[in-house]
Structure 1
């Protein structure tokens, strides 16, 4: 009975892990596209991106030293490249705006898009948004389960675990906790910036997928084992993922609040248009 339970936990943990990976593969895409469509990256806090980049670099370095699967290391490289793409967009669109004198670009002053276009974006159908997010959720779930099924049916030779010295183990733990602190700290400057930008130029899907990815990753650790030693070993990654969820929820709360305020602001105008 205990063997069957352990096998079930391993399977569920693996599925959750693959779903988490699927989330993290697409997490950057909405913001990259948002920046491209607005021709501006001013909705992002530069400190947010830089600290997130540092977290990804330390996380990737820890994965390499820990001898994790090549797929995990490749994902670490992918995350780092996406961070660099976001930074490139911010600076490129600032340079472009300055060159063509579209508007003044200062780090603390966002580039605002056309008010009417922004209002139309903010009051788009709630039903439509729900459908899009339900579709995105279904996509990552199906992709994760499919990836798990493929991986479970491919038998790869098991590599013997290498013995790590205590110093290497200590370095890995330091990198893990540094990464966790960076992931947590990165959200604070973005939350502060949102008060002045009203979340304009920021893609909510970035934080939606981040929440889903962190939640499934944390669950994959807990489902596998709740033994004290196991949780301590994975403590940094568990803490970084679980606690970041609350800060990402704070960002989504800001989105909801400013969206509601925008709807109240333009609703009278919409009523007049409908009755004319």
Structure 2
């Protein structure tokens, strides 16, 4: 009696794995800013976030869109690139809104003689007052659980998006414009972390920063890089070279995120 060994199509398995990792990355990026938006709303302040961090990140998003346009990607992927710009702009506008609100509060106090000196001492970056929201009542573990569920749903949706865009995917074509835009955006994404690290170091604090924000960024970058690396391209070397800016950009930012995690641990007893 002969036993027929099951046959495995390794290329198909790697393709499915690449799609899953890409969907996981997409799921993380779609909900990435929600924890920080909630943290800022709770504190009625965005002073913990470096605005230079977000501005550089936003410029990187614009080059990412340019790369998507010249790369002839599907309309769905292009819409997602614009979504990243909108979400980052929302966080940046939230920060400037709270600064404007704080400036108005200080300006009104300057007309009150008894509070004038105190107002000047508090300065522009004074917090407005914390807001109690349902997110704040959750423990850190529960917050991770909630965001984990949201990421799972986003991953499922992301898998559908990637599947619909797979027919437009070219595994070994190198186009100069997307490659150049990818290089620029990767450098910008890497450099964006540096102002935040410096800000944390000067303040000796990470208070007001959402650690979930950086966890999602790390998971998103890691899964994205490996989704590229495991894809069974027909010309793997040329394919890898064409995607090298995104691979290096993803892995390099992970190292800076690890340093930010170190700052969370180092400064956790400072507030």
TM-score, length-scaled by structure 1? 0.78
Q: Structure 2 regions of 5+ residues with no counterpart?
A: 1-5, 107-118
- 1:104 matched to 2:104? The reply is no
Root mean square deviation of aligned Cα: 3.0
Q: Kindly provide the CA deviation profile for residues 204-232 of structure 1, in whole angstroms up to 9, marking residues without a partner as x.
A: 11111100100110111111138221110
- Number of equivalenced pairs: 243
CA distance in 1, matches of 2:197, 2:81: 25
Q: Kindly provide the CA deviation profile for residues 29-59 of structure 1, in whole angstroms up to 9, marking residues without a partner as x.
A: 1111211221111111111011000111101
Q: Structure 1 residues 151, 188: CA separation in 2 closer, same or farther (over 3 Å shift)?
A: closer
Q: Structure 1 regions of 5+ residues with no counterpart?
A: 263-276
TM-score, length-scaled by structure 2? 0.79
CA distance in 2, matches of 1:87, 1:4: 47
Give the alignment of 1:161-172 within 5 angstroms: 169-172=175-178
1:214 to 208, 217, 221: 221
1:175 to 155, 178, 181: 181
Match of 1:267 in 2: none
Q: Structure 1 residues 9, 79: CA separation in 2 closer, same or farther (over 3 Å shift)?
A: same
CA distance in 1, matches of 2:213, 2:73: 26
| Alpha-carbon offset, residue 260 of structure 1 | 3.9
Q: Kindly provide the CA deviation profile for residues 38-93 of structure 1, in whole angstroms up to 9, marking residues without a partner as x.
A: 11111111110110001111011101110112222111111111121122112211
Q: Structure 1 residues 38, 236: CA separation in 2 closer, same or farther (over 3 Å shift)?
A: same
Give the alignment of 1:46-65 within 5 angstroms: 46-65=51-70
Q: Kindly provide the CA deviation profile for residues 215-271 of structure 1, in whole angstroms up to 9, marking residues without a partner as x.
A: 110111111138221110100111111111111111121112211444xxxxxxxxx
- Which 4+ residue blocks in structure 1 deviate beyond 4 angstroms? 112-115, 149-152, 156-161
- 1:249 matched to 2:258? The reply is yes
Q: Structure 1 residues 58, 159: CA separation in 2 closer, same or farther (over 3 Å shift)?
A: closer
